[in-house]
Amino acid sequence: MKISDEIRTELKFDNKGLITAIAQDYQTGEILMLAFMDLEALEKTVKTGKAHYYSRSRNTQWLKGESSGHFQVVHEMYIDCDADAVLMKVEQLGGGACHTGYRSCFFRTLDGDVVGDKAFDPKDVY
């Protein structure tokens, strides 16, 4: 994977220097999580093939899986029409993406029902 020169000039970071990143299971199409990347996190993701993000609350870059072992191996990367969002098709190691233990961070409906699948027990991981 690489970032083409043309897309590199198009990339549109917000006023905090971030773009949005979606992680989608490369086999099932399930949306696993949504987070943010700065340019360096994007470049590290492309270079290493493992998803790196930028935490808005902790103001720091992070390698997904660094503490949990639940790395996301990136199979494909897409950019959207206005070049401010990235879609990654990933292989989620460890069974789940969410720190709560659910497979996906989107484990609740907006009306409050818990519908997601538990993938691990957070106390075994964090």
CB 70 within 8 A of CB 98: no
| Residue 48 touches a copy of itself, criterion: CB under 8 A | no
CA distance 28 to 90: 10
Task: CB nearer to a copy of itself: give 63 or 85.
Answer: 85
Residue partners of 38: CB distance under 8 A and separation at least 6: 13, 17, 18, 54, 61
Interface with a copy of itself by CB under 8 A: which range of 28-36, 64-72, 118-126? 28-36
Q: Which residues bind a copy of itself (CB under 8 A)?
A: 1-4, 6-7, 20, 22, 24, 28-31, 33-34, 46, 76-82, 85-87, 98-100, 102, 105-112, 115
